[in-house]
Amino acid sequence: MPPDAATAAAPRHRQRIGGWADGLTRLGAVWLALVLLFLPQWQAMAHQWWSISTYSHILLIPAILIWLAWQRREGLRAFAPQGWWPGLAAFAAALLLWITGSLAGIAEAQQAGAVAMLIAVVPLLLGPRIAMGLAFPLAYMLFLVPVGDEAIPLMQTVDARLTVALLHASGIRAGLDGVFITTPAGAFEIAEACSGVKFLVAMIAFGVLAAHVCFVSRWRRAAFLAAAIVIPVLANGLRSWGTVYLAQFVGAGVAGGFDHIVYGWIFFALVIGGTLALSWRFFDRPARAPLFDADALAGSRRLARLERARAGALPILVALLALVLGARAWTAAAARMAAPLPARIALPAVPGWHRTAYAPRPWFEPRAAGAAHRLIGRYADAGGDAVDVFVALYAAQGPDAKADGTGEGAVRRESGWVRQGPGPGFADAFGDRLAAPGAPQRLAETSFANGDRVTGSRIALRLADFENKLLLRPRPTMLLVLSAEPAPQRSPFRQIAAFRAAIGPLGPWLGAIGRGTAARPQPFR
C-alpha cells in the first residue's frame, strides 16, 4: 500500500473504533444510571431470581445476553454508533409502562418498564441499524422480568384434570373436586408447588433461545416453541399421575418422597434432553452461520432513511434526564395521596338480621394487610341463616396495602383454608369455594369499592385506582367479604343473597361504613 494511502486509512480506522468506544461508554453509563434510579425494581427482581425457585433460571440470562451480543460482534463492527432522536419515543413508552405499574400498583409492569428502558436506550444511543443487529438479545432481556406465578391456579386445574384422566386410563378410581383428587389410597392435593409452573416458565425461556439459535425456518421455530410449552404440561401431568399411582401400592408418604427425589431432579432433566433429542434432526441453522444478516442490514434503504434522524449525545442525555425526573415527580405525588378517613367505623344494623357471636371453627378471617380499619362479625336472621361479614378500609392503595393483592381477601394462604375453585357470584362480586380440615365447605363473595364504584373485578379496581392516581385524586378503597356455610335448608349462596337483599345496594351501604356514619346494630344475642 502506498504511504499516503496508509496514512489516510489509519484515522478512519481509529475513528471507527473510537466511535464504538464512546458509544458503549455512554450506553454503560446510562444503563448504570437507570438501574440506580429504578433500584427498587431491580432489587425486587434480583430477590425473586435468588429466592423463588420458579425464577432461579433467570440468574443465567445475563450470561446468555452477553454471549448473544458477543456472537454478533463481527457483523456489528461494520456499523458506526450514532445518536438517534426517535429512540426517545421508545424510551418514553417504556417509562410510561413503569408509570402505569407504579400508579396501578402492578409490580410486574414496573419491573417490565425498568427492563424496557434499558432496551430502549440502545437505539437511542447506538442507532437503529445496530439495534436491529441486536434485536433478539434486546427482546430476550424481557425474560429478566419474573412472571409466571400468575398461571399457578390454571396450571393446578390442568394438572389435576390430566392426572385424573391418566388414573382412569390406568384403572384407578379417582374423583376430582377442584384441585383435590380422591382415590382408594386416600386424598391428594395438586398444590401450588406441584402445578408445573416452575418448569414451564424455564422451558419457555429455553425454548425461545433454542428456537433462535438452532433454527432458521419460522415454521420450525414455531413448532419447537409449541413443543416447549406442551411437553412440560404433559410431563407434569405424567409426574403427578406417577406419584398418585405409586401411592396406591406403597402409600402416600413414600410416593411423595420418591416424587421429589426422582421426578424433581431426574424426570424433568430427561424431558429437556428428550425434547432436544427429538428436535435435533430438524435443526436447520449451520453450526458457524451468523445469527443475523449483516449484509442485509448494511444494504437496507429503510434503515438508511431512519438514520437521517441523528442527534447529539448531549441533547439526548438532557431529554432522558427530563423524562425520568418528570415521571419520578408525578409518581411521588401520587404515592403521597391518602383519602381522609373517620377515626372509627362500625358494622351497621341490617333490617331483619341481628349480630351474633363470631366464633367459626376452624377460625376464618380474611386478610387485609395495610388497611386502616378492619371489621369482622356475624349476622343471623330468625330463620337460622347466618352470614359472616368482613370489611376493610384503606386510605390508599400501595405496595403494602393492596385490597386485591396476592394472599389478600378470603383466600388467606396461612389460615388453613384452601381455595377449591370458583363459586357462584354476583354482578359486583366473585365467589370462591373454600375448604379446611374438619369444616364444611364455605362460600366467600368478594367485592371491592373505590369511591362510588363497587366491583367484583380486580382489574376494574386497579383501573379505578390508576385513574385516581393519574388525576391526583385521593379516594378510599374498601374490601368486603361475605361468607357463609351450608345451613339445613339453605345453600351458602342463598343465605348471602338474602343478606344482600336486606342491606340493599352495596355502594351506599359500604359508603356509610367508610364515612363512619353507619347506624350501629343492637347488641349481640
430: buried, middle or exposed (CB in 10 Å: 19+, 13-18, 0-12)?
Answer: buried
Last residue of a domain, one of 257, 282, 307: 282
Q: What's the one-letter identity of residue 136?
A: F
Backbone angles phi, psi at 180, to 5 degrees: -105, 130
Q: Do 97 and 225 share a domain, yes or no?
A: no
Indicate whether 95 and 156 sit together in one domain: no
Are 426 and 438 within one domain?
yes
In a domain, 369, yes or no: yes
Evaluate whether residue 5 is within a structural domain.
Answer: no
- Are 117 and 194 members of one domain? no
Q: Comparing 57-61, 154-158, 206-210, which segment has the lowest mean pLDDT?
A: 154-158
- Decide the pairing of beta strands 477-484 and 453-455: unpaired
Residues 408 and 368: beta-carbon distance below 8 Å: yes
Tens digit of pLDDT for each residue in 227-262? 999 998 998 888 888 888 877 877 666 555 555 555
Distances (CA, A) of 267 to 235, 258, 270, 291: 9, 11, 5, 32
pLDDT value at residue 520: 60
Residues 200 and 128 in one domain: no
Assess whether 71 and 217 both reside in one domain: no
The top-scoring range by mean pLDDT among 107-121, 196-210, 403-417 is 107-121
As a whole number of angstroms, the distance between CA 482 and CA 495 comes to 10
What total number of domains does the chain contain? Answer: 3
Top pLDDT among 103 and 520 is at 103
Determine, yes or no, domain membership for 523.
no
pLDDT of 292 > 90? The answer is no
Q: What is the pLDDT of residue 259?
A: 56
Please give the residue range of the domain that contains residue 178.
150-282
Read off the amino acid at residue 304: A
pLDDT for position 434: 92
Please tell me whether residues 176 and 243 are part of one structural domain. Answer: yes
User: What pLDDT is attached to residue 251?
Assistant: 67
Q: Over the stretch 419-472, which tens digit does the pLDDT of each residue have?
A: 888 999 899 999 999 988 888 889 999 999 998 899 999 999 989 999 999 999
pLDDT of the residue at 276? 85
Main-chain phi, psi angles of 178, to 5 degrees: 70, -115
Give helix then strand counts, H and E, for the chain: 19, 11
Give the mean model confidence (pLDDT) for residues 272-297. 84
Q: Binning pLDDT at 50, 70 and 90, where does residue 198 land?
A: confident
For the stretch 298-314, pLDDT in tens is 888 999 898 899 989 89
Grid cell for residue 364: 376464618
10 found inside a domain: no
Model confidence at 1, in pLDDT bands (50, 70, 90)? very low
Of 391-395, 483-487, 499-503, the poorest mean pLDDT is in 483-487
User: Dihedral (C-alpha) 173, 162, 170, 187: value to the nearest 10 degrees?
Assistant: -40
Dihedral of CA 70/72/77/80: which sign? Answer: negative
Rounded distance between C-alpha atoms, residue 3 and residue 196, angstroms = 68
Q: Are 433 and 420 in contact (CB under 8 A)?
A: yes
362 and 506 fall within a common domain: yes
Output the pLDDT for position 64. 97
Q: Which residues of 340-370 are buried (b: 16+ CB within 10 A; e: fewer)?
A: ebeeebbbbebeebbbeebeeeeebbbbbeb
Higher pLDDT, 180 or 391: 391
Residue 80 CB partners (closer than 8 Å, separation 6+): 16, 19, 20, 127
E strands in 168-306: 175-177, 180-183, 186-189
Question: How crowded is residue 321: how many other Cβ atoms within 10 Å of its Cβ?
Answer: 12
178 in the same domain as 140: no
Q: Which contiguous run of DSSP H or E holds residue 393?
A: strand 386-394
Domain assignment present for residue 408? The answer is yes
Q: Let me know if residue 109 belongs to a domain.
A: yes
What is the percentage of the chain residues whose pLDDT exceeds 70? 91
- The separation between the first and the last C-alpha atoms of the chain, rounded to the nearest angstrom, is 106
pLDDT-based confidence at 342, cuts 50/70/90? Answer: very high
* Mean pLDDT, range 496-504, rounded to an integer: 95
Q: In angstroms, rounded to a whole number, what is the distance separating the alpha carbons of residues 254 and 96?
A: 52
Residue 6 has pLDDT above 60, yes or no: no
Banded pLDDT at 399 (limits 50, 70, 90): confident
Q: What is the dihedral of CA 359, 360, 363, 368, to 10 degrees?
A: -80
258, 236: one domain? yes
Per-residue confidence band for 519, with pLDDT thresholds at 50, 70 and 90: low
What average pLDDT does the chain have?
87
Instruction: Give the residue, 406 or 58, on which the prediction is more confident.
Output: 58
- In one letter, which amino acid is 425? G
pLDDT band of 140, cuts 50, 70, 90: very high
Which pTM was predicted? 0.76
Domain membership of residue 98 (yes or no) is yes
Q: Between these two residues, 383 and 94, which has the higher pLDDT value?
A: 94
Domain-located, residue 365: yes
Q: Are residues 40 and 187 in the same domain?
A: no
Among 321-325, 384-388, 519-523, the least confident range = 519-523
User: 466 and 498 in one domain?
Assistant: yes
d(CA 268, CA 261): 11
Structural domain ending residue among the three candidates 335, 363, 397: 335
